[in-house]
Structure 1
Amino acid sequence: MNRRRPVGVDTVHVGDEQDGRPSRPRVEGRRWRPSDELTLRLLTWSARVVGLLAVVSVVLPVGRRRLRDTIGGWLDLPTEATVAAGVVVLASGVMLLMLATALRRRKRRAWQVAVVVTGLIALAHLGWRHGIGSGVTALVLCVALIGTRSHFTAKPDPVHGKWRAVRVTLQLWLAGFLANFVLLSTTPSRFTDNAGLLDRALHALLALIGVSGPVQPVPWLDDLSAAIGLAFGIGALLLGGYYLLRSAEPKQGLSPAAESGLRDLLAARGAEDSLGYFALRRDKSVVFSPSGKAAVPFRVLAGVALASGDPLGDIEAWPGAIEVFLADCRDNGWVPAVIGCSERGATVWVRYGLDAIELGDEAIVDVPGFTLDGRSMRGVRQACAKLRRAGYEVTVRRSADLGEVERAELTTLAEHWRGTETERGFSMALSRLAGPDDPDCVLVTAARAGEVTGLLQFVPWGSDGLSLDLMRRDRATGDNGLNELMIADLLGACAALGVTRVSLNFAVFRAAIERGGRIGAGPVARLWAKALRIGSRWWQIETLYRFNAKFGPTWNPRFLIFPAVRDLPRVALAAIEAEGFGGRPPALLRALRR
């Protein structure tokens, strides 16, 4: 987004940026009241209950018998047709459950589909004067949805949209029809009772809704054909519903104007947050406050708008940027979340009805007070001395001092040493090395006999600080302590660089690990610490904490901000995917995009 005052924002009322007091959001010219939230929850849970009952009515044997006796007798249908009714009910139930989640996020398209579905149910029951109670209930729900239409303002996905949903549904139906038709056509005639070509085509078509066609195949072929038809038929509806109701996931990338605006804010107030410079990642979007004095960088993943660190800029302008960010989330049906904000930032975010939990601690070393002397630094001191005797030399310099050839060589080495398919890090990673646009970054290299075997990159933290971005080394060398050597030499060179503070790695759940190891810790604390140590086998939770602790840092807590407990699984999935530790399988995402 460009750095300019937003025009035509009618879903947010910008509060007074001078006193920092948040204002309540507006919906079509009026304020969002607590009763509106209650109404939205009631509608959401009503859809969930109805959808769950529909699924249970088909899954349980008693429900299937009731469905067969009621619908079959009501419409005087043959037994085979009740299978189709069961399929319709099952698909409708699952669709209602999907709609409920979308309704909770105020999706306009989910509201439209829900009105149509409930209206048809009410018309069917009341028109045939069967199930009057169910018809009245559906009618009441339909009227309630129409009466609350102003609540559902979230935009549909502009990338895929309804036509992608229609196309995917038709493609899967066509694929299911062709699969069954080919199966019936290539099977010997004695297995299909010598059925004609048109009968086979009609049988393949009806199998998509669970209805037996005119072909009388042998039992195993009939079961196989029905399974293929139902799999494609129900899959088409569910996948089409996914595309119809999914939240927008905009194309990643900062525009030149947005990046320029962020750099201006960093030049003015970049010293206030050690994570501020990471806002310049190229896979982020950004919104600015109406005054342009603050900004919230974020990335959208799995329906979550994930911001990182504190808002940039003047703290008095933070409310304006936060309100624009939350307005964008409401407009697009995103779940707002923040990973790695400071205690000061968390204090501002919770004023907007969000919740916060402590995620971990950031290790910050006070450079003037750092020394390798003393018993507590014995391990680091010995590791450094050992590697120096082995011939290692450390070089510390600004990115601007690198030549193009050396920059390319270091980039190649960093890619080779990465060890994972995707780049890890989001809240504390820049995702590029020694770029020409980042002249103030600091590169630390360790080499022996002229061969580079270790690399660190630090990004600027104001004019007198550095924040660790990248830590790579050649694991084939097998020399332990190389990272300790590079950090110790960097801290020794900080005086010449004009640096007085250095932010190291982020230690997730550090306080929990520390509490669990204390004498007298309770059973819950010990169990939680033990679970974190087990998790460290894969995610280096305790390893990073122990590594950072070697340098005697000050621990600054960092927080995770989220709307409600029910949103935590989705937020956690988005955060894990953003940080490069898993999430949605890349192969599945590529298939869905195709």
Structure 2
Amino acid sequence: MGMVRTAVAANFAVWYLRLVGFLNLLGAVWLSFGNSIRRHNANDFFTPYLLTAGFTSGLFALFLAITMRRRKRAAWILNLVVCGLFLLVFAAAMVPADTRSHPQNWIAFLLTAGFFTALLAGRREFRAKGDRANPKLAAAVAVGGVAFGGLLAAALVTVTNTSKGSTFGERFAYALLRVVSLAGSDNDFIGITPPGWVNVTINVMSALLFLLVLYAAFRSPRGRALLPQDEARLRELLGRYGDRDSLGYFALRRDKSVVWSPSGKSAVAYRVVGGVSIASGDPIGDLEAWPGAIEAWLAETREHAWIPAVMGASEEGGTVYARHGLDALELGDEAIVDTGEFTLEGRAMRTVRQACNRVKRAGYTIRIRRHEDISEAEMEELIGRADQWRYGVTERGFSMALGRLGDPADGRCMMVECYDAEGAPRALLSFVPWGPEGLSLDLMRRDRDSDNGLIEYMIINLIERADQIGITQVSLNFAAFRSVFERGSRLGAGPVLRLWRSLLTFFSRWWQLESLYRANAKYRPIWEPRYLLFAKNSELPRVGLASARAEGFLVAPRLSSLLRRR
């Protein structure tokens, strides 16, 4: 019962901040309503905590509401200190009889006291930790932002000033005062008369700087990089349980973090992107220890106020994650080829068969070997070709890509090379181990000047030589929203499904959604569904954005890349 009261008090504090933020923004755009609130902040009238009918205060209250909803300890401390000081000033102001005689003052006092009481009652709910570097970062952003904003605002005032007789130092002081305080008296600065829109622009810059400082102060910590001892333990688990999930080896990406079950027999690999902790694939290790690893991962997300999400979970893994309160959304299907059942015969394989025969007649040859059998010099050449043949500057992949090539620790990976009739390299494929008898596609590159059908020819050769290299199954590319493309093109598909398919076809111009599906479907594979798991529907847009960033579909522009392009 006590825990319920604590949660109710915490939720009351969050909703109070949301309501105050909404009223502040409403007062900023609705002049008569805003002026009415401001009159209650003058003379003997008072308004509740943070209610000032200002645009900046509205954003500030909403920002605090978001951080409080994520149960961040720093936001709770800030609200407790500021509201406590405000309540003391309020109590002192209520001593005169004239002030006590106004009923609205008592309402404001009781609301502020209620918010302060809710903070105290719900203190145990706010346990999420921030990054230890946040105070220094926030101070640096504040100092640098004020200096840069002051100079930029002073330049704007200089260009638009309609009066004469002021120095640049005076204009800088005027701009700096407005950046810091959002206000400035024109009477105190003789010879400075900028247009009204300039003051508004400076105020907007100041508000954005204020929010940026808040973000730096309250940002969630990033997960630590994969440690050597964690990688060694993961490889040990993959050696014992690696055949359970075709994506298991991708947990060894070194931009991921890992959290272990109490028994150490299972682990969840994840990466933090934009405050979202994205676990990739199923947990690694013993199935019976999966719940312990998932609980440890979810506890860590709560500790740091991260939003939990899982990308690329199998049906079995998604079921276990769902038992811990996560909802599932089908992302698409993974194409898996059983080498023992695969055949090129039949009408359905006619297109692939013709492409392979055409490439074979052109004199192309295939070479298949483990990475450990490739010399260091040859591997350097292969890496250079892979970079040269890469389309675009962004390396895509997170849950289904290793993110490196030629690392000595990945000696059991398989390299498939294709050479033309003159012996020149034209394409390469790299596969990671999937247990002792399986491979999972990691990298696929080809020379764009080469003949079509090379990739099909390489994959067919790999499957045909499966007995020689000791594999029984091969995982190919992931086809996002495969069922939509497949069912949406059938006779009798509903209007909603056809519209959804048309939308995905449109985005396929950039993200190759439909082409990946068709490239995999030609091998007549076994389709294994993969799922995205999330905690709340309201968090799904943020989870989707973080997932797109992790996979490389959305990339924030960097100054270095812009300079290189220019």
TM-score (norm 1): 0.86
Q: Which residue of 1 aligns with 2:56?
A: 91
Describe the superposition over 1:90-110 as per-residue Cα deviations: whole angstroms up to 9, x where unpaired. Answer: 222101111111112111011
Equivalent residues in 2 for 1:225-240 (5 A)? 226-227=199-200, 229-240=202-213
- Cα distance change of structure 1 residues 102 and 546 upon mapping to structure 2, 3 Å threshold: same
- Of 437, 455, 458, the residue aligned with 2:431 is 458
- Of 126, 132, 147, the residue aligned with 2:121 is 147
Q: Which residue of 2 aligns with 1:404?
A: 376
- Partner of 1:437, secondary structure, is helix
- Partner of 1:419, secondary structure, is coil
User: Do structure 1's residue 280 and structure 2's residue 252 form an aligned pair?
Assistant: yes
Q: Which residue of 2 aligns with 1:204?
A: 175
- Cα distance change of structure 1 residues 371 and 34 upon mapping to structure 2, 3 Å threshold: farther
Which one-letter code corresponds to 1:161 in the other structure?
A: N
Structure 1 residue 408 displacement after superposition? 0.5
Q: Which residue of 2 aligns with 1:244?
A: 217
Q: Which residue of 1 aligns with 2:68?
A: 103
Structure 1 residue 451 displacement after superposition? 1.1
- Cα distance change of structure 1 residues 588 and 302 upon mapping to structure 2, 3 Å threshold: farther
Q: Provide the C-alpha distance between the structure 2 equivalents of 1:202 and 1:218, rounded to a whole number of angstroms.
A: 11
Q: Which residue of 2 aligns with 1:3?
A: none
Which one-letter code corresponds to 2:138 in the other structure?
A: A
Q: Which residue of 2 aligns with 1:116?
A: 81
- Of 444, 469, 482, the residue aligned with 2:416 is 444
Q: Provide the C-alpha distance between the structure 1 equivalents of 2:403 and 2:411, rounded to a whole number of angstroms.
A: 15
Describe the superposition over 1:110-155 as per-residue Cα deviations: whole angstroms up to 9, x where unpaired. Answer: 1112223434554555544463323321221121012111111111
Q: Which residue of 2 aligns with 1:21?
A: none
Structure 1 residue 286 displacement after superposition? 0.6
Choose between structure 1 and 2 for higher RCO, CA contacts under 8 A separated by at least 6 residues.
1
Q: Provide the C-alpha distance between the structure 2 equivalents of 1:104 and 1:588, rounded to a whole number of angstroms.
A: 36
Q: Provide the C-alpha distance between the structure 2 equivalents of 1:501 and 1:187, rounded to a whole number of angstroms.
A: 70
Segments of structure 1 that go 5 or more residues without pairing to the other structure are: 1-30, 77-84
- Partner of 1:352, secondary structure, is coil
Q: Provide the C-alpha distance between the structure 1 equivalents of 2:296 and 2:542, rounded to a whole number of angstroms.
A: 22
Describe the superposition over 1:331-366 as per-residue Cα deviations: whole angstroms up to 9, x where unpaired. Answer: 111111110011111111111111111111111111
Describe the superposition over 1:500-520 as per-residue Cα deviations: whole angstroms up to 9, x where unpaired. Answer: 111111111111222212222
Larger mean CA deviation between 534-543 and 228-237 belongs to: 228-237
Q: Provide the C-alpha distance between the structure 1 equivalents of 2:417 and 2:111, rounded to a whole number of angstroms.
A: 70
User: Do structure 1's residue 429 and structure 2's residue 394 form an aligned pair?
Assistant: no
Q: Provide the C-alpha distance between the structure 2 equivalents of 1:427 and 1:366, rounded to a whole number of angstroms.
A: 22
Structure 1 residue 34 displacement after superposition? 6.3
User: Do structure 1's residue 565 and structure 2's residue 521 form an aligned pair?
Assistant: no
Structure 1 residue 432 displacement after superposition? 1.2
User: Do structure 1's residue 51 and structure 2's residue 21 form an aligned pair?
Assistant: yes
2:6 and 2:123 in contact (8 A); partners too: no
- Cα distance change of structure 1 residues 184 and 579 upon mapping to structure 2, 3 Å threshold: closer
TM-score (norm 2): 0.90
User: Do structure 1's residue 165 and structure 2's residue 149 form an aligned pair?
Assistant: no
User: Do structure 1's residue 491 and structure 2's residue 463 form an aligned pair?
Assistant: yes
- Cα distance change of structure 1 residues 561 and 32 upon mapping to structure 2, 3 Å threshold: farther
1:99 and 1:110 in contact (8 A); partners too: yes
What percent of counterpart residues are identical? 45
Structure 1 residue 224 displacement after superposition? 5.9
- Of 307, 313, 318, the residue aligned with 1:341 is 313
- Of 149, 171, 187, the residue aligned with 1:176 is 149
Structure 1 residue 165 displacement after superposition? 1.2
2:10 and 2:118 in contact (8 A); partners too: no
Describe the superposition over 1:196-254 as per-residue Cα deviations: whole angstroms up to 9, x where unpaired. Answer: 898656533432322324125565x2436524542342223111101111111235x32
2:27 and 2:35 in contact (8 A); partners too: no
Which one-letter code corresponds to 1:357 in the other structure?
A: L
Describe the superposition over 1:453-511 as per-residue Cα deviations: whole angstroms up to 9, x where unpaired. Answer: 1111111000011101111111123x211111111111111111110111111111111
Which one-letter code corresponds to 1:392 in the other structure?
A: Y
Structure 1 residue 195 displacement after superposition? 5.4
Describe the superposition over 1:31-72 as per-residue Cα deviations: whole angstroms up to 9, x where unpaired. Answer: 996665555444323321211111111122223332454445
Which one-letter code corresponds to 1:403 in the other structure?
A: S
1:122 and 1:134 in contact (8 A); partners too: no
Structure 1 residue 387 displacement after superposition? 1.0
Q: Provide the C-alpha distance between the structure 2 equivalents of 1:39 and 1:345, rounded to a whole number of angstroms.
A: 36
- Of 476, 479, 486, the residue aligned with 1:504 is 476
Segments of structure 2 that go 5 or more residues without pairing to the other structure are: 94-98
Q: Which residue of 1 aligns with 2:96?
A: none
Which one-letter code corresponds to 1:104 in the other structure?
A: R
Structure 1 residue 575 displacement after superposition? 0.7
Q: Provide the C-alpha distance between the structure 2 equivalents of 1:115 and 1:105, rounded to a whole number of angstroms.
A: 16
Which one-letter code corresponds to 2:545 in the other structure?
A: L
Q: Which residue of 1 aligns with 2:352?
A: 380
Q: Provide the C-alpha distance between the structure 2 equivalents of 1:181 and 1:366, rounded to a whole number of angstroms.
A: 69
Which one-letter code corresponds to 1:135 in the other structure?
A: F
Q: Provide the C-alpha distance between the structure 1 equivalents of 2:247 and 2:268, rounded to a whole number of angstroms.
A: 12
User: Do structure 1's residue 294 and structure 2's residue 294 form an aligned pair?
Assistant: no
1:105 and 1:154 in contact (8 A); partners too: yes
2:339 and 2:466 in contact (8 A); partners too: yes
1:303 and 1:334 in contact (8 A); partners too: yes
Task: Count residues with an aligned counterpart.
Answer: 546
Which one-letter code corresponds to 2:24 in the other structure?
A: A
Q: Provide the C-alpha distance between the structure 2 equivalents of 1:32 and 1:510, rounded to a whole number of angstroms.
A: 48
Q: Provide the C-alpha distance between the structure 1 equivalents of 2:160 and 2:457, rounded to a whole number of angstroms.
A: 71
- Cα distance change of structure 1 residues 183 and 561 upon mapping to structure 2, 3 Å threshold: closer
2:266 and 2:289 in contact (8 A); partners too: yes
- Cα distance change of structure 1 residues 511 and 36 upon mapping to structure 2, 3 Å threshold: farther
Structure 1 residue 587 displacement after superposition? 4.8
- Cα distance change of structure 1 residues 310 and 173 upon mapping to structure 2, 3 Å threshold: same
RMSD: 2.7
User: Do structure 1's residue 215 and structure 2's residue 189 form an aligned pair?
Assistant: yes
Q: Which residue of 1 aligns with 2:442?
A: 469
Which one-letter code corresponds to 1:211 in the other structure?
A: G
2:256 and 2:269 in contact (8 A); partners too: yes
Which one-letter code corresponds to 1:52 in the other structure?
A: F
1:337 and 1:560 in contact (8 A); partners too: yes
Which one-letter code corresponds to 1:204 in the other structure?
A: A
Q: Provide the C-alpha distance between the structure 1 equivalents of 2:77 and 2:157, rounded to a whole number of angstroms.
A: 39
Which one-letter code corresponds to 2:426 in the other structure?
A: T
